[in-house]
Each structure stands twice: as structure tokens, then as C-alpha cells.
């Protein structure tokens, strides 16, 4: 049992990185709230961590309703110290199907914005807290296979930067951490010949470390920092020739 348990809310934690992070915090004795679309998986989490787990079904494609659900679970938990927005969708969409682009934007942009802005306003009223976003190294360059996904992650990182500037003017102990994740072995990892796949529990360990250190930005795992540096410097004509 940790000496100083915190209250942590993870939005989008029915599977993948979000679930691995939620399980990790709960096993350490923290109070953990989780949200997601699949109620049966939320209930399994709560059963694994009786007395420490709170759940709320939530779908970010309905942002106004998601905000109400966010308020409800925060009330259930009697306040929170950290909110992690892990929810997101990804499609390989080379044919530019609008239904897939629309779902990506609805979840990764509209839904994210609704909950990130509401979470920050909650922390401002509380005058303390930490907001964490799970973005992606894919945010650094556009993709011909998943254009909406990479664009949505660029939006997430840029939006967090704007919120960080807003908080800097307030002088409150409020921290914003943008986690730019590389490839993790989850359903979100799509494509052939994937490399550097990190197990979700290992990724969760590094993410928790970045949160504990109150980092402004972190690449998970650290090797992706080099990829990010190369991506930023790569001329367009070279990038466009890459498969």
C-alpha cells in the first residue's frame, strides 16, 4: 500500500495502455477511476480492485454527455488529483472513407477537447492537479495511410501546449503532461512490419514515471525521442519518398 495514495481518473481504460496504467496505479494502492464504452470491461476492472476502483461508461463521440459523465465520476471519487485522457481511435484509411475520418475526429479531436478543457477548468477551480494526454509520435508528420489520426494527434499536442501556456499565467501548481507514444502492442497498432513494439505494461511503467516527474512532454519509450528528432528535421522531399 502506497503511503500517499492519489486519486487518478483515466478516460479510455477498457483496454490497451489506459487499462495497463489503471491496473498499475490500483495495484500500488491509489484510488483509480476508469471510463470507456464497454461496460462489461469496466466492471471487470472494478471487480479486480474492490474498494479502489470507480467506473463510468462514457463515449467521447457524444461530448456534451461525456462532460456530464466526467463530472459524475469526479463527484463519486470525491475529487481527483490526476486526469489522464487515454481514449482514442485509429484507422488505416488509405481510401479516405469519411465514416472513419469522421469517427477519428469526433473522438480524438472533439471528444478530447471537451474533456481536456473541462478537466483543466476543474483543476483551476481546485487550484491544483495534473492533466495528462496520450498523444503519439505520429503527431509529428502526416500519414497517407491514416491522415486523420496523425492530424488529430498533432492537434492534441498543440492544444496541450496552449493549455500549458494558460496555466503558466495563473501561477497555480497545475501540471500538463503530453505523452507522445511510439508503437505499443495493442489493437491501436496497425500496419505491416511493425517494429519497436512495446508491451502495454512496460509502456504504462514509463508513462507513470513521466507523470510522477510532472514532465511537460515525454516520448514512450525513450528511443522514440530519436525518431521524433529525425522526423522534425527530415525534408518533405525525403519524407514523401519513404513508404
* CATH number reported for the structural domain that contains residue 55 in this entry: 3.40.50.720
What residues contact 215, with CB distance under 8 A and at least 6 apart?
A: 177
pLDDT at residue 236 in the model: 67
Average pLDDT over residues 235-243: 65
Kindly report, residue by residue over 45-97, the tens digit of the pLDDT: 999 999 899 999 999 999 999 999 999 999 999 999 999 999 999 899 999 99
How far apart (Å, rounded) are the C-alpha atoms in residues 220 and 184?
9
Kindly report, residue by residue over 156-215, the tens digit of the pLDDT: 999 999 999 999 999 899 999 999 987 766 554 444 444 456 888 988 999 999 999 999
Give the domain range for residue 110: 7-239
Residue 2 inside a domain? The answer is: no
Confidence check: pLDDT of 24 > 80:
yes
pLDDT at residue 184 in the model: 63
pLDDT at residue 228 in the model: 60
Provide the grid cell at 52: 479502489
Residue 1 inside a domain? The answer is: no
Residue 141 inside a domain? The answer is: yes
Residue 192 inside a domain? The answer is: yes
Average pLDDT over residues 17-29: 96
Kindly report, residue by residue over 5-15, the tens digit of the pLDDT: 899 999 999 99
CA distances to 7, 150, 152, 187, 219 from 141, in Å: 35, 7, 11, 21, 15
Average pLDDT over residues 204-228: 85
pLDDT at residue 199 in the model: 85
pLDDT at residue 206 in the model: 93
Residue 215 inside a domain? The answer is: yes
Confidence check: pLDDT of 1 > 50:
no
Confidence check: pLDDT of 28 > 60:
yes
Residue 25 inside a domain? The answer is: yes
Residue 91 inside a domain? The answer is: yes
Q: Name 241's bridge partners.
A: none
Kindly report, residue by residue over 133-171, the tens digit of the pLDDT: 998 887 777 788 899 999 999 999 999 999 999 999 998
Number of domains, the chain:
1
Residue 61 inside a domain? The answer is: yes
How far apart (Å, rounded) are the C-alpha atoms in residues 236 and 48?
49
Amino acid at each position: 500500500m502506497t503511503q500517499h495514495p492519489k486519486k487518478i481518473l483515466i478516460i479510455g481504460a477498457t483496454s490497451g495502455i489506459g487499462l495497463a496504467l489503471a491496473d498499475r496505479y490500483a495495484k500500488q494502492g491509489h484510488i483509480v477511476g476508469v471510463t470507456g464504452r464497454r461496460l462489461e470491461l469496466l466492471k471487470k476492472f472494478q471487480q479486480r480492485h474492490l474498494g479502489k476502483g470507480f467506473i463510468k461508461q462514457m463515449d467521447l463521440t457524444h461530448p456534451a454527455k461525456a462532460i456530464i459523465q466526467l463530472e459524475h465520476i469526479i463527484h463519486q471519487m470525491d475529487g481527483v488529483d490526476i486526469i489522464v485522457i487515454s481514449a482514442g481511435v485509429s484507422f488505416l484509411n488509405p481510401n479516405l472513407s469519411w465514416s472513419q475520418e469522421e469517427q477519428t475526429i469526433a473522438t480524438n479531436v472533439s471528444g478530447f477537447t471537451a474533456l481536456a478543457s473541462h478537466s483543466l477548468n476543474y483543476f483551476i477551480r481546485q487550484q491544483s492537479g495534473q492533466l495528462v494526454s496520450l498523444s503519439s509520435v505520429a503527431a509529428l508528420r502526416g500519414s497517407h495511410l491514416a491522415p486523420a489520426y496523425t492530424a488529430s494527434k498533432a492537434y492534441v499536442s498543440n492544444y496541450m501546449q496552449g493549455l500549458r501556456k494558460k496555466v503558466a499565467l495563473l501561477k497555480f501548481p497545475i501540471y500538463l503532461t503530453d505523452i507522445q507514444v511510439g508503437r505499443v502492442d495493442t489493437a491501436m497498432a496497425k500496419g505491416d512490419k511493425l517494429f519497436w513494439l512495446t508491451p502495454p505494461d512496460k509502456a504504462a511503467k514509463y508513462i507513470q514515471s513521466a507523470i510522477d516527474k510532472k514532465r511537460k512532454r515525454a516520448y514512450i519509450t525513450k528511443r522514440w525521442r530519436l525518431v521524433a528528432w529525425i522526423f522534425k528535421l527530415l525534408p518533405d522531399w525525403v519524407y514523401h519518398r519513404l513508404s
